[in-house]
A and B are shown apart, each in its own frame.
Chain A
Amino acid sequence: MRYHPIHMVIVVAAVLFILFSEENALSSEYITVQEFNAIHPRQVGIGKKFSELVKAKGIPTQKETQQKPVKIAFIYPGEQASDYWRRSITSFKARMNKIRIQFDMVEYFSKPVVDYREQERQIKKALDRMPDYLVFTLDINKHKRIIERIVTEEKPKIILQNITTPLKIWEGKQPFLYVGFDHAIGARLIAKYYIRKTYGTGRYAVLFFSQGYVSTMRGNTFIEYLQKNSDLKLVSSYFTDGNREKSKRATIEILNEFPDVKFIYACSTDVALGAIDALKEKGAQNKVMINGWGGGSKELEMIESRNMDITVMRMNDDNGVAMAEAIKYDIEGRKNDVPTIYSGNFVLVEKGLGQDNLNKLKKRAFRYSGMN
């Protein structure tokens, strides 16, 4: 085959183009809430109003609004120590009933992370039922690849839970709702706590979740914040896949290698529980501080028993309420009043907090899912 000079020019130009394009592709995969609001300024107002709606008691929809029950498919990594997912569903159902939305819900719970093909199968099954809404969480890249197959479709509408930072590549075709608690905010709250307790000096270790979104948002945000705002040195970090046992083993290794660490930052409840197990075993409970993440029931027990130093408590049930109110607005034809991102509030809970105060927080956070 003979090459014309023009072909050479085109090939060279293409190579340069690729190099240039590659540089862009290396930029961050996610958009923070602040970045998203900057791109979509209207979202700020919409978000505020929606937050007020979530905090409110809920107004039943008109009967004639809904012709038939909405079909909702929940696919949750619910088989975890954290009761976040369970409480979300409970509060969601309760709010749906309160605002009198008829719904037909199918729930799929799977183990987090590892059961990838299982989740695919569940999604397939769920989609075969032609749901109106698919509630799903996003963790590893494979999840993203599954969601992207349907994110450009008109149906089902996707609610991504436990994520508040939209994917950059989905800009322009974002899912119906991102709902959760901003990991970055929680991470910064805990970071500030540790800076205060350590006066910003000393060494620390990090126990990541699995590789993926949660680890990135909770772990990296925390590390970056400390780097910028303190002299604390990260000496060791582990991916634990959210596994309590793996976390325990990783903690023991850390304590053996770096016995002077002032605290170990855990990226989830199960990870924190594994770390507490290790601290107990090594008798380092009062020497090395440990945190929880989310303020679920297990964590609060640990706070009460003074085994855990600090946690960020999510006003858990607001997530379920937000999903219910978003569906209600959609049914009512007020899709534009639904924000793309709903981020719930956090409260910092430290060991030693009185029982009454704790109960008040629980009552607020679990207003639909209950105190226990």
Chain B
Amino acid sequence: MIPYKPKRHSFLIGIYIFISLAIFSTLLLTWSYYSAIEAINKELTTSFTQRHIVCEVAMEDQLDLLDLGLNEIRSNTNFLQKVITGDKSGAQAELFKILDLDVSNNFDILFVNLPQFPVWADASSSFFNTDLVLSSIAGNKQINRTGMVYRVKNSSSDLTMLIKSIPIIHNNSGRILGRLFGGVVLNNNLSLLEKIKGKIKSESVGFFVNGDLIGSTDRIDAKTTKSLQRARNEVKTNEIYSTDGLIALYNNINLLGQRTPLEVITAISDKPLKDVTRSYKIKTLIISLLSIAFVIASVLIIRSLTNPSLKKLLVYSKKITSGRIDARYSPGRIIELNQVGQSMEDMVDSLKAANEEIKIETSERKQAEETLRKTDIHLRTLLRTVPDLVWLKDKDGIFLFCNSKFERLFGAKEKEIIGKTDYDFVQKELADAFRKYDTIAMEKGIPSINEEEVFYADDGHKELLETIKTPIYGTNGEFIGVLGISRDITDRKRTEEKRIALEEKLRQAQKMEAVGTLAGGIAHDFNNLLMGIQGRASLLSTDLEPYQRPLLEHINAIEDCVRSAADLTKQLLGLGRGGKYEVLPIDINELIINSKKLFGRTKKEIRIETKLQNPPPVVEADRRQIEQVLLNLYINAWQAMPNGGVIYLATEAVTLDESFCRPYEVKSGRYAKISITDTGIGMDDSVRQQIFDPFFTTKEKSRGTGLGLASAYGIIKNHFGIITVHSKVGQGTTFTIYLPISDKEVHQNTPAKKEAIGGSETILLVDDEDMIIEVGGRMLVKLGYRVVIAKGGRQAVDMVKVKGQEIDMVILDLVMPDIDGARAFDLIRDIYPMMPVILSSGYSLDGKANEIMKKGCNGFIQKPFNMSDMSQKLRKILDEAKRSSKPNG
């Protein structure tokens, strides 16, 4: 349906009136025009008929003139006498004389016909070739006094004439002597033509005989003459013909009721016809103008009549439109419009209620649309800016959408990608792979996940992508396409791998921690037991009578066993990072060299090569523990080279960064790197991963406990260091140790005296173990000391409170049930800040012991200890305490 442009009602009414008037006027004008043309044609026909009658009258006049002239000649006495006497030349001369004298005489043909001489005396115009014509005329019996139009056409002439003859009669006898012929040639008879033309007021007149033009009022080559010829040839007689500005009609001339071959064509200007046409054009114009004026006037009147009412309706509707729905319609003069207005009022009232509902709905809808629009913008922004690749393809794999990140993958803009497929941008193999996962998602109707490594077309970088392809369906459940989201998981993968490695290390550390704690506990209790054995053995040896000397061998053997057992507990304590007994700055190179010498003496089949850092790296460490670690590693290397080999020992000062240190939970910085490399059988990954596990061994039961490397691991960790292993089967193994470098000076080691030194001071022995109280007390007593016993921390504090002035030193156990050693130390020092205290424990110098040492505890003695070790330690501290209590002393 074609939409139409609304118009004003007055315009539409105007158009209606105008069209009606136009149709009516056109019909009226057409009818009147054709009526006028018909009338003109009738008028013309009448006019031409009149003209033709005039022509015939003119021709008859011409015949009358001929008659008059012939009568005059016939009655001329001289002429008659010559005819009677048969004087031919005389008669002829008389004829010439009459013609010359009478200027009004127009005879072109004039001759006398006698019975025996057809042409007897001739005075015809010599201008025409009349020689053969005259005899023809004379022989024509129809030419009489009535006259006729006669055409003579022969080889020498073609003449058409008006001709008549009268008898020449003898005056006396009445005898007819002959006939006198007289005529006027019509060919080019301009005088006659002009005479007719003048009489009938025509533009042009022409004579035709049997269709041949024999005379015209115009030149033979004139346009008008040609028009006349055309008119004669193209229409029938008595039929109006219009051509070249002329209206023409031809008809035969009737003379005295007789039809002649002469046709007269008369032509008049077509101006009258044109005038009529012009007149009707003017009338049409006037009527058109009047119609327009009438239409305009009608429109104005209609407007003036209808506009007030329409305006009221319009004003009312505008009020409604502008939201003033409470407005009321003011009735006008037109009933129908008032009805419309009333209907509108009713409608507005109905709509008012509905409007409220719509308003609410519209508001909600707008809000929803706004939310949707914002969401859409956010979504689009999100999709475009999200670091993931996002795209949407239809079922044929044709891209419908893609985001900025995706554009980078194909190295093309979204508008270049949309409408194309993967095959337009990547190699067929990869496109096939993409398509395969599209198909999976489409066929299964659930998201498909895959990983793929891709190269970006824009800069050529590589990413590992995790792609989720989800089939998308419309609200009606129709399949729309596949939504793809790819995320770069390159970093995540790397981090995950690292996390796994870290977890593995943590698990290892936790395992070691647990094992260490367990081992430490066992070692503590075991050391207490050993302390009992050692103490008893020491007391026994000192109490032996001379005869009992043979028993000393057994006592010594017991003490050797205790030492072996103590070594074992040391391994356990190292495993549990049970502490360092004496942490001092040591020269690692010197430690390597000494341990190499010690090991090299026993294993001659092994060659040891060293490459040591100069200057030598210094670390703060328990010398004996580090020596133990090195020896354990040497032994491990030796065992890996059953057929001998080389051990390469190297030291180096290195700087470890944060990333290297983080997995081992140590601080970055400068480290002394110690590497022990053998050329042995090496190990596979499964062995390597368990190498530091406690009790893991690849050796026979008799050759190892499985605690060597585990202890080494614990000791190094306890020194805030790192130990790693690198090995390949058949290519040997390298253990690398990193220990923090110290700036301190190297401590010079001095060997202690081994014999027991006694004393007389009072010593408070504090321990919750009865066995320790008993053995330890006896050993102190044996050494000459006065012993005060306290079986717990609380008791010890109380005794210090009571007898503090008497006590010279306190030997304090660390782990006790009521108040532990640390608390007891603090309380004792609160009472007597200068009270010398030696800490004693089956644990090594670990965290808690270390804290007490840092608070000013005077010494530490590891259980089990023998009398000699204890006596020297006590003596040293007591002497130092005495020195410090003597000012200036």
Residues of chain A at the chain B interface (Cβ within 8 Å): 10-11, 13-14, 17-18, 20-22, 24-25, 114, 116-117, 120-121, 123-124, 140-142, 144-146, 148-154, 169-170, 172-173, 211
Contacts and interface: CB of A to CB of B under 8 A. Distances in A.
Given A149-B188, A150-B188, A117 B222 contact: no
A146 B50 contact: no
Contacts of B338: none
22 contacts: A10-B50, A14-B50, A14-B57, A18-B199, A21-B201, A24-B201, A25-B198, A116-B99, A117-B123, A123-B127, A146-B127, A148-B189, A148-B190, A148-B191, A149-B189, A152-B215, A152-B218, A152-B219, A154-B220, A169-B198, A173-B219, A211-B103
Contacts of B188: 148-150, 152-153
B126 interface: yes
Given A10-B49, A120-B125, A150-B188, A22 B218 contact: no
Q: Is the interface of A mostly helix, strand, loop or mixed?
A: helix
A116 to B, nearest CB: 6
Contacts of B279: none
Nearest to A27: B198
Contact of B53 (A11, A116, A154, A170): A11
Complex A-B, nearest 3 residue pairs according to Cβ-Cβ distance, in ascending order: A148-B190, A21-B199, A121-B126
Contacts of B219: 151-154, 172-173
B220 A153 contact: yes
B126 A154 contact: no
**Residue of B187, B189, B198 with most partner-chain A CB within 10 A:** B198
A321 B96 CA distance: 37
A121 B122 CA distance: 14
A154 B220 CA distance: 7
Contacts of A123: 127
B200 interface: yes
A149 B187 contact: yes
B96 to A, nearest CB: 6
B100 A21 contact: no
A21 B100 CA distance: 30
Interface in B41-65: 46, 49-51, 53-54, 57
A70 to B, nearest CB: 20
A114 B101 CA distance: 9
Interface of B: 46, 49-51, 53-54, 57, 96, 99-100, 103, 106, 123, 125-127, 187-191, 194-195, 198-201, 215-222, 225
A140 B54 CA distance: 28
Given A116-B100, A117-B125, A117-B126, A14 B222 contact: no
Given A25-B195, A169-B194, A14 B216 contact: no
A149 B129 CA distance: 13
Contacts of B103: 140-142, 211
A150 B185 CA distance: 13
A11 B216 CA distance: 26
Contacts of B201: 17, 20-21, 24
Contacts of A145: 106, 191
A121 B188 CA distance: 18
B199 A25 contact: yes
A149 B127 contact: yes
A20 B50 CA distance: 13
Contact of A117 (B54, B96, B187, B195): B96
Contacts of A11: 53
Contacts of A22: 199
Contacts of A173: 217-219, 222
A20 B216 CA distance: 23
B200 A169 contact: no
A25 to B, nearest CB: 5
B822 to A, nearest CB: 152
A241 B46 CA distance: 49
Given A17-B199, A140-B103, 5 more contacts: A10-B53, A13-B50, A21-B200, A123-B127, A141-B103
A11 B52 CA distance: 11
Contact of B57 (A18, A24, A121): A18
A103 B123 CA distance: 35
**Residue of A11, A25, A149 with most partner-chain B CB within 10 A:** A149
A141 B106 CA distance: 9
A146 B188 CA distance: 10
**Residue of B46, B51, B100 with most partner-chain A CB within 10 A:** B100
Nearest to B203: A172
Contacts of A152: 188, 190, 215-216, 218-220, 225
B198 A154 contact: no
